[in-house]
Structure 1
Amino acid sequence: MAGGRTTGDPGLYGPGSVTWQTHGDPMMWIAGVRALYLQALHPLAVRGVTQNSDFRQDAWGRLLRTARFVATITYGTTEEAERAGARVRGIHRRLTVTDPGTGARHRVDDPDLLLWVHCAEIDSYLHVVRRSGFPLTDAQADAYVAENRESARLVGLDPARVPADTARLAAYFKEVRPALAHTPEAGEVDAFLRRPPVHPLLVPARAVLWGRVAALAYAALPPYAHELYGRPAPDPDVVTRRLRAAGRVLRRIPPTLRWQLPPKHILRAVARLGPGTRPSVYTLRHNAAILDNGDASRAP
């Protein structure tokens, strides 16, 4: 492991995982917004959010709680991650949602709903960071998908039914595509993400800063999502250039400065495990080189 041995609890993923290195990238914020856009296109899943949460009144709080959960299960101790998962499962067990098409009641922890939310998140995280220039090989991308069956387990899914590589993740989206639709609830999520409520003095900053984040996250959606939302997106090559430009700008911000933002899980993890465990793209490149050398040495 880079930086020598560690002595603390590495948590569920640990510094040797692709997830550990990837989730420290600042483009994860844009990826998270893309995930919200994508998740909202599942009629039952988005209704579960609007019926059972204070999304309209505390949307910012919901976004931050989601970010805190991802940070905790990635960089927290094993106990902290398991406790966070148990908390989420406990909340979901108590909630139900009404199907907008049939009127039938469903549990929020229905495996099909949980699987959609999970896959939309993992696809968004992986798509945005890779497209913005984060150096993941195909093998590392597959490893990332496989590793995050652990996060699926934490929210109540059987890891055996969760996609374990990028090919199976793509197959899942092809299978679920006919069930997706633009509902009034999806329109509410879209409206919030484009113009979230802020203090009047912050309205100009919302247009300049958040507006660009939301627009880029929306542009990074797959074409069928743009079609469902009914709003066009720039040419894919233009989107890729913008994602790469955003990645270059955000990655120039010193990590120790970025990691000062709440919830500070990365700083606590590094303090627990040692400076050699800092998330870094260089670790991924080093690991990829080792794999490449290993494969080459076995080649005929």
Structure 2
Amino acid sequence: MSIDVLSPLRRRLRLTFSGQTDGVPDWELALEDGDDAGFFAPDSVTWRVHSDMTPIMGGIRALLTQALHPGVLAGVVDHSHYREDPLARLAGTIRWIFTVTYGDTAAARRASQHVRRVHEAVVGQYVDGRGIGRPYSANQPDLLEWVHLAFTDAFLGSYEYVRGPLPASDADAYVAEWATAAKLMGVPNPPTSFAALRERMNAYDDGARLSSGPRVDDVVGFLRNPPLDPLLVPGYRMLFAAAVDSMNDRYLDLLRLRRSSLGPLPLPVRPAAQATLAVVGRALGATGPSEAAARRRLARLRAL
């Protein structure tokens, strides 16, 4: 009788990502239902990127990038219980991303409308990078856009950091495809090429919309050492280091983060991250439940 040495890791990963240790969440099984193929095909770059293990690292990078906008950060700090229950927010984000990626078009729209309804209560005041107080709402187009830009940049950047650069046409395709998710969330005119993504993100660094400060430092400290199961801590720390290593110098300066090094010598973070994600992939399996459910729907619809 063989011993599954990865079983403890598998249970803890499932609890972290879905909130349960055994079985598949009902919302993932429901992705088998529906009447169309969804917004993205199995041969899309979106499926290629999102079905990989790299979005785990990408999620860390996205949260770090999002924290640079004081309006986005205020919404998280003032209206979420990320410190008391960080996994709940993570599970909600994963549910929305996978439903939009793998669900039929009706499920993707419902999931996005649900997030927008939750956002209606997320309002308040924040101080911008020039010290000016401003009102915010989580459904403001500029805040929604920054969240979308951060996700797109982080997921694509993490995939290329771990797996190697995509052809320019594939990078453009990913940005153009995932613009659909932005439109579902109410983002007007999202970028549809990699160059446009870079240009749009650079435009936010105008001295007011992106900033550092005590609130950013606090969130960075939390993301560096979140309250995870001890079995997951070594792998998480490696992926956090990889997320930092993959980011541009300007954002690292604002976040007050440095790439891992031993004195003047950089540490080999990339191969360590590749090994970490390989173990995670071995524990969770090659095909995730969301993708498997989508493939069953496509087979039923004869759309494969």
Task: Provide the residue aligned with 1:139 in structure 2.
Answer: 169
Task: Provide the residue aligned with 2:257 in structure 1.
Answer: 231
Task: Provide the residue aligned with 1:209 in structure 2.
Answer: 235
Note the C-alpha offset of 1:49.
1.0
Q: TM-score, normalised by structure 1?
A: 0.78
Q: Is 1:149 matched up with 2:179? A: yes
Task: Provide the residue aligned with 2:145 in structure 1.
Answer: 115
Note the C-alpha offset of 1:245.
5.0
Matches within 5 A, 1:19-58: 19-58=46-85
Task: Provide the residue aligned with 1:79 in structure 2.
Answer: 106
Between 96-105 and 243-252, report the one with greater CA deviation.
Answer: 243-252
Inter-partner Cα distance in structure 1 for 2:286 and 2:224: 24
Task: Provide the residue aligned with 2:290 in structure 1.
Answer: 265
Inter-partner Cα distance in structure 2 for 1:130 and 1:244: 13
Task: Flag structure 2 segments of 5+ consecutive residues without an equivalent.
Answer: 1-33
Inter-partner Cα distance in structure 2 for 1:128 and 1:244: 13
Greater relative contact order structure (CA < 8 Å, 6+ sep): 1
Q: Secondary structure in 2 aligned to 1:269? A: helix
Task: Flag structure 1 segments of 5+ consecutive residues without an equivalent.
Answer: 1-6, 279-300
Q: Secondary structure in 2 aligned to 1:104? A: strand
Note the C-alpha offset of 1:213.
1.7
- Structure with greater proportional helix content: 1
Q: Is 1:90 matched up with 2:120? A: no
Task: Provide the residue aligned with 1:173 in structure 2.
Answer: 201
**Over the residues paired in the alignment, what is the CA RMSD in angstroms?**
2.7
Equivalent position to 2:213, from 167, 175, 183: 183
**Residues 62 and 151 in structure 2, CA contact (< 8 A), matched pair in contact too:** yes
Note the C-alpha offset of 1:128.
1.0
Moved over 6 A (4+): 275-278
Inter-partner Cα distance in structure 1 for 2:121 and 2:82: 18
Inter-partner Cα distance in structure 1 for 2:105 and 2:270: 33
Note the C-alpha offset of 1:267.
1.4
**Residues 41 and 183 in structure 1, CA contact (< 8 A), matched pair in contact too:** no
Q: What is the aligned residue count?
A: 261
